[in-house]
Amino acid sequence: MAQIVLKQIEKSFKQEKIIENLNVTIEDGSFTVLVGPSGCGKSTTLRMIAGLEQQSGGEIWIGDKCVNGVEPGKRNVAMVFQNYALYPMMTVKENIEFGLVNRKVPKQERERLIKEITEIVGLSEYLNKKPQALSGGQRQRVALARAMVKNPAVFLMDEPLSNLDAKLRHQMRTELIQLHKRLGATFVFVTHDQVEAMSMGDRIVIMNKGQIQQADSPMKIYDDPDNVFTAQFIGTPPMNVIHREAIFPYMEGQLHSDIHQVGFRPEKAMMTMEKKPIAGCVQFSARILTRETLGAEIIYQLEAKLGLVAVKSFLKPLEFANEVQISVPMKDLYYFDHEGKRARQYERSEERELVALGGGYA
Amino acid sequence: MTVWSRLRPYVMVAPSIAVFSIFFIYPIFYMIFLSFYNWDFINPVKEFVGFNNFVEMFQNSEFLQVLTNSLNYTILSVSLSIVISLGLAMWLNREGAWYGFVQGALFSPHIISLVSVSLVWMWLMDPKFGLLNAILEMFGMQKLDWLSSPDSSLLSLVLVAVWKGVGYNALIFIAGLQSIPKDMYEASALDEANRWRTFYKITLPMLSPTLFFLIIINLIGSFQVFETIAIMTNGGPVNSTNTLVFYIYEYGFRYFKIGYASAAGVVLLLVVGLLTLVYFKLLSRRVHYQ
Domain boundary among A176, A201, A228: A228
Beta strands in chain A (DSSP E): 4-13, 16-26, 31-35, 57-62, 65-66, 77-80, 154-158, 186-191, 203-208, 211-216, 240-243, 261-264, 270-272, 281-293, 297-304, 307-314, 323-329, 334-336
Cα–Cα distance, B190 to A338 (Å, whole number): 45
Q: Which residue of A has its CA nearest to B287?
A: A89
Is the model's pLDDT at A362 over the cut of 50?
no
**Is A182 an 8 Å CB contact of chain B?**
no
Q: Please indicate, yes or no, whether residues A76 and A157 belong to a single structural domain of this protein.
A: yes
Cα–Cα distance, B265 to B263 (Å, whole number): 5
Query: Does residue A30 lie within any of the structural domains?
Result: yes
Which CATH number do you get for residue A51? Answer: 3.40.50.300
What are the per-10-residue average pLDDT scores of chain B (290 residues)? 88 94 93 90 83 89 90 94 94 88 90 91 87 86 83 90 93 92 91 90 90 88 89 86 91 90 92 84 66
Query: Does residue A279 lie within any of the structural domains?
Result: yes
Chain A 140-169, CB below 8 Å of chain B: which residues?
146, 150
Query: Does residue B275 lie within any of the structural domains?
Result: yes
Domain boundary among A228, A249, A270: A228
Please list every residue in chain B whose beta carbon sits closer than 8 Å to the beta carbon of residue A50. 186, 190
Q: Which residue, among B183, B185, B191, would best test binding to A if mutated, counting the most A CBs under 10 Å from its CB?
A: B191
Give me the residue from B187, B192, B290 closest to A85, CB to CB.
Answer: B187
Q: Given strand A186-191, what is the order of strands in its sheet?
A: A77-80, A154-158, A186-191, A31-35, A203-208, A211-216
Query: Does residue B155 lie within any of the structural domains?
Result: yes
Which CATH number do you get for residue B146? Answer: 1.10.3720.10
pLDDT tens, residue by residue, B32-47: 999 998 888 888 888 8
**Three-state SS for A106?**
coil
Total number of domains constituting chain A: 2
What range does the domain containing A100 cover? 4-228
Cα–Cα distance, B130 to A284 (Å, whole number): 97
pTM of the model as a whole: 0.79
Q: Please indicate, yes or no, whether residues A303 and A325 belong to a single structural domain of this protein.
A: yes
Q: Please indicate, yes or no, whether residues A123 and A247 belong to a single structural domain of this protein.
A: no
pLDDT of residue A361: 37
Is the model's pLDDT at A352 over the cut of 70?
no
Q: What is the mean pLDDT of chain B?
A: 89
Please list every residue in chain B whose beta carbon sits closer than 8 Å to the beta carbon of residue A88. 206, 288, 290
Chain A 84-123, CB below 8 Å of chain B: which residues?
85-90, 98-99, 102-103
pLDDT over 90, % of chain A: 34
pLDDT tens, residue by residue, A150-198: 889 999 999 988 888 888 888 889 989 998 998 889 999 999 988 899 9
pLDDT of residue B290: 54
Q: Please indicate, yes or no, whether residues A324 and A254 belong to a single structural domain of this protein.
A: yes
Give me the residue from B189, B194, B208 closest to A72, CB to CB.
Answer: B189
pLDDT of residue A349: 57
Query: Does residue B255 lie within any of the structural domains?
Result: yes
Q: Please indicate, yes or no, whether residues A245 and A184 belong to a single structural domain of this protein.
A: no
Cα–Cα distance, A113 to A102 (Å, whole number): 15
Q: Please indicate, yes or no, whether residues A20 and A169 belong to a single structural domain of this protein.
A: yes
Q: Please indicate, yes or no, whether residues A294 and A212 belong to a single structural domain of this protein.
A: no
Chain B 243-262, CB below 8 Å of chain A: which residues?
none
pLDDT of residue B275: 83
Q: Which residue of B has its CA nearest to A47?
A: B186
β A297-304/B37-38 pair status: unpaired
Please list every residue in chain A whose beta carbon sits closer than 8 Å to the beta carbon of residue B179. none
- Rg from Cα positions in chain A: 24
Query: Does residue A352 lie within any of the structural domains?
Result: no
Query: Does residue A361 lie within any of the structural domains?
Result: no
pLDDT of residue B165: 92
Q: What is the mean pLDDT of chain A?
A: 87
pLDDT tens, residue by residue, A278-309: 878 888 889 999 999 888 889 999 998 888 99
pLDDT of residue A357: 42
Q: Which residue, among B180, B185, B192, would best test binding to A if mutated, counting the most A CBs under 10 Å from its CB?
A: B192
Q: Please indicate, yes or no, whether residues A176 and A288 belong to a single structural domain of this protein.
A: no
Cα–Cα distance, A142 to A136 (Å, whole number): 10
Q: Please indicate, yes or no, whether residues A23 and A160 belong to a single structural domain of this protein.
A: yes
Total number of domains constituting chain B: 1
Query: Does residue B183 lie within any of the structural domains?
Result: yes
Query: Does residue A360 lie within any of the structural domains?
Result: no
Domain boundary among A169, A203, A228: A228
Q: Please indicate, yes or no, whether residues A221 and A135 belong to a single structural domain of this protein.
A: yes
Cα–Cα distance, A237 to A245 (Å, whole number): 23
pLDDT of residue B286: 63
User: Cβ distance B223 to B244 under 8 Å?
Assistant: yes
pLDDT of residue A350: 54
Phi, psi of B191 (to 5 degrees): -85, 10
Which CATH number do you get for residue A265? Answer: 2.40.50.140
Q: Please indicate, yes or no, whether residues A215 and A338 belong to a single structural domain of this protein.
A: no
Q: Which residue of A has its CA nearest to B186?
A: A52
pLDDT tens, residue by residue, A13-35: 888 888 888 898 999 999 999 99
User: Cβ distance B286 to B208 under 8 Å?
Assistant: yes
Which residue type, as a one-letter code, is found at position B21? S
Q: Please indicate, yes or no, whether residues A99 and A123 belong to a single structural domain of this protein.
A: yes
What range does the domain containing B182 cover? 60-285
Query: Does residue B117 lie within any of the structural domains?
Result: yes
Query: Does residue B12 lie within any of the structural domains?
Result: no
- Does the structure's ipTM exceed the value 0.90? no
Query: Does residue B121 lie within any of the structural domains?
Result: yes
Give, in degrees to the nearest 5, the angle at Cα B189 between B185 and B190: 120
User: Cβ distance A50 to A77 under 8 Å?
Assistant: yes
User: Cβ distance B186 to A72 under 8 Å?
Assistant: yes
Query: Does residue B162 lie within any of the structural domains?
Result: yes
pLDDT over 70, % of chain B: 97
- The region, left, alpha or beta by phi > 0 then psi within -120 to 50, assigned to residue A21 is left
Is the model's pLDDT at A114 over the cut of 60?
yes
